[in-house]
Chains A and B, each alone.
Chain A
Amino acid sequence: MKALRFGWRGVTVLFVLAFLLGVTGPLAWVLASSLKSATQIATDPWALPTTLQWDNYANAWNGASTNLGRAFFNSLFVALATMVVLIPISAMAAYVLAKYAFPGSKAIYASFLAGMMFPQFLVIVPLYLTMVDLSLADTLPGLILVYIAFSLPFTVFVLTGFFHNLPDELGEAAMLDGCGHAKTFWRVMLPLARPGLVVVTIFNLIGLWNEYNLALVLVNSEERFTLPLALAKLSNTAQYTSDWGAMFAAIVITMGPVLLVYWLLKEKIQEAMLAGAVKG
């Protein structure tokens, strides 16, 4: 009986160790490979780098085939510009949906909820055509507008929940003090919703940093590539230029910031993910 239980334990421990290796191994391999020379990468995947090839990073960042540096700044610009617009307008909308019932407000809320349900690809062709009509296809402003629109459902949903939980009395007190509706929102309610704002900001930033599908369809000039597009292209060219080192360096550059942010803000991120998952 005891032996059997110990056997189970052993199996479990082995299984968990295998899983840990499965998760961290590939990431460690990428990190190690990003500091190896192309020949070393091709000869023995298990070997550790002999001399650290920091050149790989320079080649990836500003190489002949792909300019990851530019893509990095494109991604940064797109993500920040999106957030600067998205957060205030979502907060405004969420506040209204939580605290101001008016004819049709339920329908609006429902339509935002529906937006979290349907697949992006359902609208991707007409979306592209709409952007062509607006002369915004293949432009970063166009991509930013699309990102804002597509991030609204989730952001509004989470923030509505937050505003809903703030007591009505706070707003009423502010109104009695002579603040208008708008002033009440900016001065009193928005600061109180800060935890919610932090959650949606982090969650959206990670999502935007990683976004591929919409960018792939809406952006096709290389100088406007975001990081995922540039990385995908680089991996494609690495196939025949055999510049493996630069490619692994590019992977590290792409995933580094996200892993760092995740490491610092684990709880917040999990909170946001759970909020999004249990919406059904």
Chain B
Amino acid sequence: MRRRGRIAFALAFIAPAVLLYAGLVLWPLLRAFALSLYHTRGLSTKKEFVGLQNYTDLAKDEIFRTAVTNNLKLLVVVVVAVTVLGLLLAHVTEGKGPVAKVLRSVYLFPHVISIVVVGILWQFLLHPSIGIVTATFDRLGWKDQPTWLGDPSTSLLSVAVAFVWYGIGFYIMLFSAALKGVPGDVFEAAELDGTRGLHRFWTITWPLIWSIRRVVVVHAAIATLNTFALVRLMTNGGPFRASEVTLTYLYEQGFQPNSFYGYATAIAVLNFLLVMGVSSVILAAFRRDPQAVRR
């Protein structure tokens, strides 16, 4: 009796969350895989089963290829930048001076304001007529600087800069949490050996924070592959697709102004596979604890 009461209570208590989650997350998720096998214009109940054709079309779709390439370019730039800068700045936050204190209180600012604000902010920082960044370059005598967001050779880079600006605080936080976790006696031992500075960093700190580096790289990679708002607000994928990413292309195909729901969902599925693939590659690269290698 008691036992059955337990189960009944458990089921009743967990039901609201499970029902909402199943109905609005898991069910659409299943629907997504099915939907990507259909052709639809989203203008009537007509839909035509086409098997894997959306996928084969995407394989031939040059815009999609451009978008994936841009995604990967962004990924490399962002991952390298946040790893290097994040780690350097995390070291600084561990310090005791006033600079470290100020840094500790502001470094997360960019990350807590909305990504929409970040996108718009950077659009105007780089604006050819009112932007303070462009104005500053101009004062410093750079007379023919590019129109950052309007020039196909610089638009993706501008997005990457904004992305790093937005994300860096988060990674500083992760690294500093990791650095706090490095046991003090390790450093004491190093002091006795006379190992200091950069050398100490390379031989002791770097290997010890291996697991957090893995978290940072995977996290930054996934976040980059799921970039949408920043690109949409800063460049809308332009000029002429120079900064198109998979999700902005998905949005164009699914909602704006087309409604090719099957095709858009196929893009979503491929983007998901790309995320999984890239994560696996990174995890494989980080598979062996480097400390084992160095000895």
Residues of A bordering B, CB below 8 Å: 5, 8, 12-13, 15-17, 19-20, 22-27, 29-30, 41-42, 44-46, 89-90, 92-93, 95-97, 100, 102, 105, 108, 111-112, 115, 118-130, 145-146, 148-150, 152-153, 156, 180-182, 185, 206, 209-210, 212-213, 217, 227-228, 231-232, 235, 244, 247-248, 251, 254-255, 258-259, 262-263, 266, 269-270, 273-274, 277-278, 280
Decide if B116 touches A212 in the complex (CB within 8 Å): yes
Task: Tell me the bound Cα distance from A5 to B221 in angstroms.
Answer: 35
Decide if A89 touches B20 in the complex (CB within 8 Å): yes
Decide if B132 touches A46 in the complex (CB within 8 Å): yes
Q: Closest Cβ of chain A: how far from B288's Cβ, in Å?
A: 18
Decide if A251 touches B121 in the complex (CB within 8 Å): yes
Decide if A20 touches B102 in the complex (CB within 8 Å): yes
Task: Tell me the bound Cα distance from A217 to B252 in angstroms.
Answer: 11
Decide if A105 touches B10 in the complex (CB within 8 Å): yes
Name the residue in B89, B108, B197, B275 with the highest tally of chain A Cβ atoms < 10 Å from its Cβ: B108
CB closest chain-A residue, reference B272: A122
Instruction: List, in ascending order, chain B residues with CB within 8 A of A102's CB.
Output: 6-7, 10-11
Decide if A23 touches B110 in the complex (CB within 8 Å): yes
The contact of A41 among B11, B105, B130, B264, by CB within 8 Å, is B130
The contact of B32 among A111, A122, A213, A269, by CB within 8 Å, is A122
* B 170-184 to A, binary, CB cutoff 8 A, 1 in contact else 0: 100110010000000
Task: Tell me whether A274 and B114 are in contact in the complex, defined as CB-CB below 8 angstroms, given that A89-B17, A251-B121 are known contacts.
Answer: no
Decide if B271 touches A119 in the complex (CB within 8 Å): yes
Instruction: List, in ascending order, chain B residues with CB within 8 A of A15's CB.
Output: 88
Name the residue in B132, B228, B261 with the highest tally of chain A Cβ atoms < 10 Å from its Cβ: B132
Q: Closest Cβ of chain B: how far from A101's Cβ, in Å?
A: 9
Task: Tell me the bound Cα distance from A97 to B15 in angstroms.
Answer: 12
Decide if A148 touches B20 in the complex (CB within 8 Å): yes
Q: Closest Cβ of chain A: how far from B125's Cβ, in Å?
A: 6
Q: Closest Cβ of chain B: how far from A22's Cβ, in Å?
A: 7
CB closest chain-B residue, reference A41: B130
From B23-31, B57-65, B74-82, the one touching the partner chain is B23-31
Decide if A259 touches B10 in the complex (CB within 8 Å): no
The contact of A111 among B26, B31, B272, by CB within 8 Å, is B26
Q: Closest Cβ of chain A: how far from B160's Cβ, in Å?
A: 14
Instruction: List, in ascending order, chain A residues with CB within 8 A of B228's CB.
Output: 121, 213
Q: Closest Cβ of chain A: how far from B7's Cβ, in Å?
A: 5
Q: Closest Cβ of chain A: how far from B123's Cβ, in Å?
A: 7
Instruction: List, in ascending order, chain B residues with CB within 8 A of A130's CB.
Output: 23-24, 27-28, 31
Decide if B21 touches A270 in the complex (CB within 8 Å): no
Residues of B bordering A, CB below 8 Å: 5-7, 9-11, 13-14, 16-18, 20-21, 23-29, 31-32, 35, 85, 88-89, 92, 99, 102-103, 105-110, 112-117, 119-125, 129-132, 135-136, 139, 165, 169-170, 173-174, 177, 197, 215, 218-219, 222, 225-226, 228-229, 233, 247, 250-251, 254-255, 261, 264-265, 268-269, 271-272, 275
Instruction: List, in ascending order, chain B residues with CB within 8 A of A235's CB.
Output: 120, 123-124, 233
Instruction: List, in ascending order, chain A residues with CB within 8 A of B219's CB.
Output: 277
Task: Tell me the bound Cα distance from A96 to B165 in angstroms.
Answer: 40
Decide if A266 touches B272 in the complex (CB within 8 Å): no
Task: Tell me the bound Cα distance from A27 to B85 in angstroms.
Answer: 20
Decide if A259 touches B14 in the complex (CB within 8 Å): no
The contact of A181 among B6, B14, B116, B125, by CB within 8 Å, is B6
Q: Closest Cβ of chain A: how far from B156's Cβ, in Å?
A: 20
Task: Tell me whether A121 and B121 are in contact in the complex, defined as CB-CB below 8 angstroms, given that A126-B31, A212-B114, A244-B130 are known contacts.
Answer: no
New A-B contacts (20) at CB < 8 Å, excluding given A118-B272, A156-B17, A185-B13: A5-B197, A13-B99, A20-B102, A24-B106, A26-B122, A26-B132, A90-B17, A111-B21, A121-B226, A122-B32, A125-B32, A126-B28, A127-B24, A149-B25, A180-B9, A227-B114, A228-B116, A231-B116, A277-B170, A278-B174
CB closest chain-A residue, reference B116: A228
Decide if A124 touches B268 in the complex (CB within 8 Å): yes
The contact of B14 among A92, A126, A247, A266, by CB within 8 Å, is A92
CB closest chain-A residue, reference B254: A125
Decide if B13 touches A93 in the complex (CB within 8 Å): yes
Decide if A22 touches B229 in the complex (CB within 8 Å): no
Instruction: List, in ascending order, chain B residues with CB within 8 A of A251's CB.
Output: 117, 120-121
Instruction: List, in ascending order, chain A residues with CB within 8 A of B10's CB.
Output: 96, 100, 102, 105
Decide if B121 touches A30 in the complex (CB within 8 Å): yes
Decide if B29 touches A118 in the complex (CB within 8 Å): yes
The contact of B173 among A150, A180, A274, by CB within 8 Å, is A274
Q: Closest Cβ of chain A: how far from B22's Cβ, in Å?
A: 8
Task: Tell me the bound Cα distance from A259 to B110 in angstroms.
Answer: 9
Decide if A206 touches B20 in the complex (CB within 8 Å): no
Decide if B103 touches A277 in the complex (CB within 8 Å): no
Task: Tell me the bound Cα distance from A268 to B169 in angstroms.
Answer: 16
Q: Closest Cβ of chain B: how far from A102's Cβ, in Å?
A: 5
Instruction: List, in ascending order, chain B residues with CB within 8 A of A210's CB.
Output: 113-117
Instruction: List, in ascending order, chain B residues with CB within 8 A of A122's CB.
Output: 29, 32, 268-269, 271-272
